[in-house]
Structure 1
Amino acid sequence: MEKYVNIMLDKAFKTVFGEKQVAIDFINATLEGERQVKDLTYLDKEIQPEVIEQRTVIFDLLCEDADGSKFVLEMQNCPQHYFFNRGFYYICRLVSRQGESGADWKYSLLPVYGIYLLNFSLPEFQSWRTDVV
């Protein structure tokens, strides 16, 4: 019998990081020196397509802090060679949803953070901030 929970399993990941204080502590540790989150609100994990040709996006966990910044927490256990593009697409969908109609919009966009726990390496991430454990 295992002594610890394997958070690389989908149910365990969502259960552990579904606890608000655990998610806050994890985000703060990951973004140490960049930003500190004091409170989070969990959002609907599903984003419907804006047009019929788009795909529905389903996040593992999607959170928002007090200033409206978004945090995507994703875990991927099995290698996916297209994960870089998938993660980038997820972030882009959240950014594009910030658009407002009308002439008064100043294109002020709030930050969107993608924190991905992968059980494999991707060469595309070599120039990005990565922490390998």
Structure 2
Amino acid sequence: MQDLHYRPVEQGGDVENERKVIFDLYCTGIDGEHFIIEMQQLYQDFFKDRTVFYTSRLINKLIPRGYKGNTYELPEVYFIGILEFELGETEPGKYFYDVALCDKQSSRVFYEKLGYKLLVLPNFNKNEVDIKTDMDMWLYLLKNMSKLDKIPDFLDKRVFGLIFDIGEVAKLIPEDKMAYEASLKHKRDAENTYSTAQRLGHDRGLKEGLKKGIAQGQHQNAIETALKFKNMGLPLEQIAEGTGLTVDEIEKLK
């Protein structure tokens, strides 16, 4: 993912009185793909029609205007639905739909840049011992999150631990949530102050080191010049005046 926007993400029509659509989550991928993600708790009539309407409206809004749009090249758009109701299909127990525009005879995908992926949580009934794939883990978590008190052992804590942290915060009462956010702010402020002090100290050290290096280089150049003049037989006082070294320093040069 390259960018994401949380609800309300509103997509208006081309004219004032056209119907508007609002996505729960709208994401863009690094290769230019666009993802609409919807969380649906209750069944509603014409749900499939609505998914097609959402993707169609987004495609229409993304088409370049003017000359650039004359090629008919369309963006990649995908709809992801996480559903807490059954679709009423003839395939009982089906919990994952991966829908695309296909040829009916060959079942091959006809158009690659439009897809609908639907997760039907009530139909996912795998037990913990049956959880094998990453997708199984996500489906189990999405279905049971509200009933879990702690992260199950079979879930990778590096991946799913943050979700439980977010869930714990979401369940706090307003007063505790404010206290948590204030504590988090203090923590972030302290970390920011520390990192700023480190950066300033690093910058100061660089400047001082550079200054010291320049001074050392200048002193070495003065020594080399004084030694050449001394070997030429020039008076030490004149060499000292020209290089900034003392007579004693020049006498010791060999």
Superposed CA deviations along residues 33-71 of structure 1, whole A, max 9, x for unmatched, are xxxxxx330147111221233211110000001222100
Residues 1:82 and 2:18 aligned together: no
TM-score (norm 1): 0.60
Structure number with the higher helix fraction is: 2
- RMSD (Å), alpha carbons: 2.4
The aligned residue for residue 72 of structure 1 is: 36
**Quick one: which of 108, 115, 118 aligns to 2:73?**
108
| Alignment counterpart, residue 4 of structure 2, candidates 42, 45, 51 | 42
Please list every run of at least 4 consecutive aligned residues from structure 1 whose deviation after the TM superposition is greater than 6 angstroms: none
Determine which of 56, 75, 79 is the counterpart of 2:20: 56
Question: 58-67 or 47-56, which moves further after superposition?
Answer: 47-56
Distance 1:59 1:124 in 2: 25
TM score, norm. by length of structure 2 = 0.33
Once residues 78 and 53 of structure 1 are traced to their aligned partners in structure 2, the CA distance between those partners, rounded to angstroms, is 28
Matches of 2:90 and 2:76, distance apart in 1: 19
Runs of at least 5 residues in structure 1 that lack an aligned partner in the other structure: 1-38
Deviation at 1:99, TM superposition (A): 2.1
Aligned to 2:87: 122
Supply the distance in 2 between the matched residues of 1:83 and 1:102 (Cα, whole angstroms).
Answer: 33
Matched-pair contact (CA < 8 Å) for 1:74–1:117: yes
The 3 A distance-change label for structure 1 pair 70 and 124 is farther
- For residues 20-35 of structure 1, the aligned pairs below 5 Å read none
Specify the code of the residue in structure 1 equivalent to 2:75: L
Distance in 2 between the 1:47 and 1:124 partners?
30
What is the alpha-carbon distance in structure 1 between the residues aligned to residue 77 and residue 36 of structure 2? Answer: 8
Whole-Å separation in 2 of the counterparts to 1:124 and 1:97: 32
Going from structure 1 to structure 2, the CA distance change for 1:40 and 1:125 (only over 3 Å counts) comes to: farther
Distance 1:96 1:125 in 2: 33
Corresponding residue number in structure 2 for 1:15? none
- Paired residue total: 94
Structure 1 vs Structure 2: percent identity of aligned residues?
34
